Amino acid sequence: MKFIGNSPSKCIFIGSLLLLLSCKGNSESEDISINTGNKIESHAAILYKEPFRPQFHFSPEKKWMNDPNGMVYYKGIYHLFYQYYPNDIVWGPMHWGHATSTDLIHWTPKKIALFPDKLGLIFSGSAVVDVNNTSGLGTKENPAMVAIFTYHNMDGEKAGKTNFQTQGLAYSLDEGNTWLKYKGNPIIGNTDLKDFRDPKVFWNSDTNLWNLVLVAGDRAKFYTSKNLINWVYKSEFGKGIGAHGGVWECPDIFKIKVENSNEEKWVLLISINPGAPNGGSGTQYFIGDFDGNSFKTTQKETKWIDYGTDNYAGVTYNDAPNNKRIFIGWMSNWQYARNTPTKNWRSAMTIPRELTLEKVNNNYVLQNTPVTQLKKQLNVEFSKETLNLHPNNPSTINYDNLNQSQIRFTAPSKNLKLIFSNTVNDSLVLDYNAKEKTFSIDRRHSGIVDFEENFGKEIHKNSTPNIISKTIDYQIIIDWSSIEIFINGGIYSFTEQIFPKKPYTKLSFRSEENLELKNLNLSKIRTIWKN
């Protein structure tokens, strides 16, 4: 490590790193070089060394993936199903892909779970474990894992019909390894709704009934059932409420405790495309009350779970341990999802995140932060208790593994700019403006951006009124083709894809005034793909 400051030259050992500290005059900037002496780990197969292949986010071994589906925890296993087309890297006839994990970080690919049939393609949906055998599809000793999903009948759509989406059921008696379609499908029919899809199912312990929410055009519809097969329509929500710039998709609803209180509220997630804050796809949320039949809210403003461009269709796990609410989103945007510059696979999921609900300025805010399991993947490669910044005199960290790292620090609530760059002049700029209370991401020159005109067209700038503290905690996670930013414990999060022509090797901190960054830590994140 090269340090430019006023201390005498010396060298010290920290762990396995040799840190060289040298004095060069009275410069007020710092130029820090980190040399680990190690190359990036080898991976399980050549495919996980491909350009832009995420090293610690889930991505399919090959071909196309979009929405997460059927997220359920059972017997120590997190099941992740997802929209999958096994024959190309662009969207096609939808199947349900499948992967499992014991820690939400390391994933084991499984065989395809659900295939299209005569009723249609297999669109998004959810899964539960019927532990009381209410459906009669299993037994109490061996309960069925039940998936409820949308059938999309392409022939009906091509014929101009409006009822080509219905809801189907499949079940597994071997903990998700193999699946049988229910012979009485569809379990929820459709007479006249063009968009009628994406059912989220859960057991409501308040009413001792199954609840289902799906979306129909620009609103959500709620149903109840005693047995997961026969459903009764109860109510709808959404007319004139929230964002309506596009079709509503991928709903989720759950009860959650308000932090530092005895209050509980219900959260309704609704993805929308287009109509997100920075264009294209995004996920809004509503805070309210739900009695098992209808959802109500007094919320006036539109709230978003993520203010970046690449977190869509996210839903949460049923039955996660310790009542945690674990969220995963599809890390892409329909504006350019089909055109991103990967060759054998396309799309990844976000880092799994824990959702919590807090009151900030007497306003409910749904926070999201990476699950704690990620910490086990971190190797701290550089830390500094205080980094002093001075006007127009940047401090720079030189580090070969920036594209596989976590950066954490605390800064005063003042203007601060971070610039990631490489040897071919790609640059990714993060900028907090304290006076305007805005945070922006500029990926216009971040690498390959010309595969679709909307990808690198504009700076993504967002208002951040809920930053009210005197200091700001920054957590930045960067992988080979993504960046995820969490501010003040996830009061704001920003998720964006990036495609640098070469890995970023420099991180510069810039300020317009004197300020101190505290507890700066830079960690390499180990690959999840084993040798």
Q: Which residues are catalytic?
A: 67
pLDDT in tens, 95-132: 999 999 999 999 999 999 999 999 999 999 999 999 99
How is 157-225 classified by DSSP, letter by letter?
A: HHTT-S--EEEEEEEESSTTSS-EE-TT--SB--SS-SS-EEEEEEEETTTTEEEEEEEETTEEEEEEE
Calculate the average pLDDT of the chain.
92
Helix, strand, coil tally for the chain in percent (to 5): 5, 50, 45
> In whole angstroms, what is the distance from residue 274 CA to residue 62 CA?
27
pLDDT at residue 35, rounded to an integer: 58
pLDDT in tens, 347-380: 999 999 999 999 998 999 999 999 999 999 999 9
pTM of the model: 0.93
pLDDT at residue 42, rounded to an integer: 42
- Token pair belonging to 359: 């009151």
CB distance 236 to 220 below 8 Å? yes
- Alpha carbon of residue 92 to chain centroid: 23
pLDDT in tens, 235-285: 999 999 999 999 999 999 999 999 999 999 999 999 999 999 999 999 999
Cis ω on the peptide bond leading into residue 8 (within 30° of 0)?
A: no
- Token pair belonging to 174: 């071997």
CB distance 366 to 311 below 8 Å? no
Q: For the chain, which domains are there?
A: 62-370 (2.115.10.20), 377-525 (2.60.120.560)
How is 422-438 classified by DSSP, letter by letter?
A: -TT--EEEEEEETTTTE
What number of CA atoms fall less than 13 Å from residue 78's CA on the CB side? 21
How is 304-369 classified by DSSP, letter by letter?
A: ES--SSS-EEEEE-BT-GGG-EEEEEES--TTTGGGSS-SSEE--BPPPEEEEEEEETTEEEEEEE
* Tokens 């070089």 belong to residue: 33
CB distance 286 to 299 below 8 Å? yes
432, β-bridge pairs: 416, 439
- Token pair belonging to 92: 């096609």
- Token pair belonging to 372: 């704690």
- Polymer length of the chain: 531
* Tokens 């919590």 belong to residue: 356
For the chain, the first-to-last Cα distance in angstroms comes to 29
Could you give the percent of the chain with pLDDT greater than 90?
Answer: 90
DSSP state of 526: P
Mean pLDDT of 431-437: 97
- Token pair belonging to 448: 């390959």
* Maximum Cα interatomic distance, the chain, rounded to a whole number of Å: 80
> In whole angstroms, what is the distance from residue 159 CA to residue 170 CA?
27
Could you give the percent of the chain with pLDDT greater than 70?
Answer: 92
pLDDT in tens, 195-240: 999 999 999 999 999 999 999 999 999 999 999 999 999 999 999 9
CB distance 176 to 76 below 8 Å? no
- Which of 107, 109, 108, 82 is CA-nearest to residue 97? 82
